[in-house]
DNA sequence: CATGTTAGTTATAGCTTCTAACGCAAGCGA
DNA sequence: TCGCTTGCGTTAGAAGCTATAACTAACATG
């Protein structure tokens, strides 16, 4: 719709050809519909045919943009990881600490539960994520480690001394991060506990139990942030 | 396996007719194949046609035994809940305490990860479990509450005092269980934390990180059982 | 023995993913 | 401005799925 195209290669601000821009637009439309469908009926109920029909084009046209159904889903998973990594980075740089990170995570999860489950939900037995996605996963762990490292650790729990010692020699996942074992332990505790409460809440296992899920979440966060 | 059938309606030990026994046998065969498929490719990859072919009968014959694919899956979910409830009851009655319950849960989960995810995995947005399944879920919570109540609670964590107070007035999920709020808090902590570490392990999120998942699990259990 | 129930069959509708072959039109270089 | 190429979208169709309908054959029971 914008009409200021056609300048040469000069300036180099917009190197995308009209074809490329159109293609990117359609791809983005497809993904938007896919997210709608996933939010409505889960990744299982995602239908390429239905998406194509919604976009006014007929079935196989969609294969010009995504090689297969799995390829589209993988792309959505990648975007979900990317979105979570950005959320973590932003929370880490905001200086809000572990508490802030936890609240950012919960907001991100509640914003689209199925997106959360695309990252941390039931795995497909055969599936192996491509390398760039595991790289984003490491980026997420990196942000978490940063926050844990700068948060300090007053009494990270005495009973896990043995495991903390184990971590001091099995820390290749930290990838050269200079955090001491106690910080690694804390990052793992944060990850597993936040996931524990969040995934059960998102899956609806707390509905009808009476208590407020956000209170449980906050209580769990409070135990992980003893200082404040 | 017992062969004492054929007497009349008298005695009433075995009221199953040969037809009923055959039907039960075929139903059980179908479910066995279904579990195989789920373990191999997840609940999504379950194909009634493939099961029928494996059993040497043609497609629609299977609908004599299960009304639909969803009905079969629901039955598998019910069996999974039943199996977990039995495991919990046995562990509770063995007197092994929270530690024993945790280890029993982990063994049950590792024995068939996809069965675990049938209970605690990604939910299908539209799906609502039938009442008898939610009843089994309450039975599971009951066993957990029993163990938590008899385990006593030395220092269940100070920071969650506010949430524990909240629980004292929002405890309809305990269904008349006489446990004090501190025990309810402990049961919730056990549930969410065990699920946190277990589900991440089962989903493979710890692979390649270097540490031993069982060490992390044991450390988490150790923090929940301060006494021993 | 007659009758009703039930397990299995094939045929079919309608959905899905995905491939193949074709037409058309938009963009690119000369 | 004129081809030529590239790529988008189409229809046709194969192979798979769930599920229904109609029918047959075997079984159980009166």
Determine whether the interchain pair A218/B163 forms a contact, defined as Cβ–Cβ distance below 8 Å.
Answer: yes
Q: Which of B173, B195, B223 sits opposite A159 (nearest CB)?
A: B223
Is residue B19 situated within a structural domain?
Answer: yes
Chain B residues 9-28 with a CB less than 8 Å from chain A: none
Q: What is the mean pLDDT of residues B78-87?
A: 98
The overall average pLDDT reported for chain B is 91
Query: Tell me, in Å, how far CA of A12 is from C1' of D2?
Result: 29
Q: Which nucleotide is nearest to A23 (CA to C1')?
A: D8
Q: Which nucleotide is nearest to A65 (CA to C1')?
A: D8
Is residue A142 situated within a structural domain?
Answer: yes
Q: What is the mean pLDDT of residues A129-138?
A: 97
Measured CA to CA in angstroms, residue B177 lies from B99, B180, B185 at distances of: 21, 9, 13
- A22: tokens are 């159109």
Domain-terminating residue out of A7, A40, A67: A67
Q: Which has the minimum average pLDDT: B15-19, B66-70, B133-137?
A: B15-19
B183-197 tens-digit pLDDT: 999 999 999 999 999
Q: Which has the minimum average pLDDT: A42-46, B45-49, B224-228?
A: B224-228
B57: CB partners within 8 A, 6+ apart? none
Q: A64 vs chain B: nearest CA distance in angstroms?
A: 26
CATH number (domain holding residue B14): 1.10.10
Q: Which of residues 19-48 of B touch strand D (CB under 7 A)?
A: 19, 46-48
Is residue A169 situated within a structural domain?
Answer: yes
Query: Tell me, in Å, how far CA of A50 is from C1' of D13?
Result: 19
Claim to verify: residue A116 and residue A211 sit in the same structural domain: yes
What is the rounded distance in angstroms from the CA atom of residue B8 to the CA atom of residue B15? 9
pLDDT the model gives residue A9: 38
What is the rounded distance in angstroms from the CA atom of residue A27 to the CA atom of residue A24? 5
Claim to verify: residue A105 and residue A162 sit in the same structural domain: yes
Claim to verify: residue B63 and residue B144 sit in the same structural domain: no
Claim to verify: residue B63 and residue B87 sit in the same structural domain: no
pLDDT the model gives residue B159: 62
Sign of CA dihedral B142, B149, A204, A142: negative
DSSP for A207-224? TTS-S-HHHHHHHHHHHH
Question: What is the H or E stretch that residue A103 is in?
Answer: helix A97-111
Query: Tell me, in Å, how far CA of A31 is from C1' of D1?
Result: 40
CATH number (domain holding residue A59): 1.10.10.60
Claim to verify: residue B80 and residue B184 sit in the same structural domain: yes
pLDDT band at B154 (very low <50, low <70, confident <90, very high): low
Q: How many Å separate Cα A77 from the centre of its chain? A: 8
Residue of A39, A46, A181, A195 to mutate, testing the B interface (most B Cβ within 10 Å of its Cβ):
A195
DSSP for A137-159? HHHHHHHHHHHHHHH--S---ST
Q: Would the pLDDT of A10 be above 50? A: no
A63 touches chain B (CB under 8 A): no
- A33: tokens are 């519909």
Task: For chain B, give the percent of residues with pLDDT over 90.
Answer: 82
Is residue A140 situated within a structural domain?
Answer: yes
Scan for tokens 């530690």, then name that residue.
B99
pLDDT the model gives residue A155: 59
- B78: tokens are 């019910």
Query: Tell me, in Å, how far CA of A50 is from C1' of C21?
Result: 24
B25: CB partners within 8 A, 6+ apart? none
Q: Which of B137, B204, B220 sits opposite A123 (nearest CB)?
A: B204
Claim to verify: residue B213 and residue B161 sit in the same structural domain: yes
Claim to verify: residue B33 and residue B101 sit in the same structural domain: no
B6: CB partners within 8 A, 6+ apart? none
Is residue B24 situated within a structural domain?
Answer: yes
Chain B residues 95-134 with a CB less than 8 Å from chain A: 114, 117, 120-126, 134
Q: How many Å separate Cα B207 from the centre of its chain? A: 24
A67-101 tens-digit pLDDT: 999 999 999 999 999 999 999 999 999 999 999 99
Domain-terminating residue out of B67, B94, B116: B67
Q: Which residues of B touch A204 (CB under 8 A)?
A: 123
Q: Would the pLDDT of A6 be above 80? A: no
Q: Would the pLDDT of A159 be above 70? A: no
List chain D nucleotides near protein: any atom < 7 Å from a Cβ.
7-13, 16-22, 27-29
Q: Which residues of A touch B157 (CB under 8 A)?
A: 223
B44 touches chain A (CB under 8 A): yes
Quick one: which of A176, A179, A205 has its CA closest to A190? Answer: A179
CATH number (domain holding residue A86): 1.10.357.10
Domain extent, residue B26, equals 10-67
User: Residue B212: which region, alpha, beta or left (left: phi > 0; alpha: psi -120 to 50)?
Assistant: beta
Claim to verify: residue A49 and residue A114 sit in the same structural domain: no
Claim to verify: residue B191 and residue B82 sit in the same structural domain: yes
Identify which has the larger pLDDT, B19 or A214. A214
pLDDT band at A156 (very low <50, low <70, confident <90, very high): low
How many domains are there within chain A? Answer: 2
Quick one: which of B81, B132, B210, B120 has its CA closest to A117? Answer: B120
Task: For chain A, give the percent of residues with pLDDT over 90.
Answer: 83
The overall average pLDDT reported for chain A is 91
Claim to verify: residue A62 and residue A76 sit in the same structural domain: no
Residue of A106, A192, A199 to mutate, testing the B interface (most B Cβ within 10 Å of its Cβ):
A192
Buried b (16+ CB within 10 A) or exposed e, B47-56: ebeebbeeee
Answer for the pair A220, A193: CB distance below 8 angstroms, yes or no: yes
B223 touches chain A (CB under 8 A): yes
Claim to verify: residue A77 and residue A27 sit in the same structural domain: no
Claim to verify: residue A195 and residue A114 sit in the same structural domain: yes
Q: Which nucleotide is nearest to B52 (CA to C1')?
A: C8
What is the rounded distance in angstroms from the CA atom of residue A99 to the CA atom of residue A228? 9
């Amino acid at each position: 719709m914008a009409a200021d195209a056609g300048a040469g290669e000069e300036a180099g601000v917009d190197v995308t050809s009209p074809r490329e821009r159109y293609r990117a637009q359609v791809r983005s439309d497809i993904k938007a519909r896919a997210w709608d469908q996933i939010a409505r009926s889960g990744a299982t109920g995602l239908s390429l045919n239905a998406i194509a029909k919604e976009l006014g084009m007929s079935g196989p046209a969609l294969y010009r943009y995504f090689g297969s159904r799995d390829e589209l889903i993988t792309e959505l998973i990648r975007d979900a990881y990317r979105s979570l990594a950005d959320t973590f980075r932003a929370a880490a740089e905001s200086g809000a600490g572990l508490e802030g990170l936890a609240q950012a995570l919960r907001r991100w999860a509640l914003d689209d539960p199925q997106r959360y489950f695309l990252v941390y939900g039931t795995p497909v037995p055969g599936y192996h994520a491509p390398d760039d996605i595991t790289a984003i996963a490491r980026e997420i762990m990196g942000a978490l480690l940063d926050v844990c490292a700068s948060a300090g650790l007053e009494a990270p729990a005495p009973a896990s001394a043995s495991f903390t010692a184990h971590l001091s020699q099995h820390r290749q996942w930290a990838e050269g991060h200079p955090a001491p074992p106690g910080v690694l332990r804390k990052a793992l505790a944060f990850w597993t506990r936040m996931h524990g409460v969040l995934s059960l809440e998102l899956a609806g296992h707390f509905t009808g139990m009476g208590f407020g899920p956000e209170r449980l979440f906050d209580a769990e966060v409070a135990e992980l942030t003893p200082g404040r």
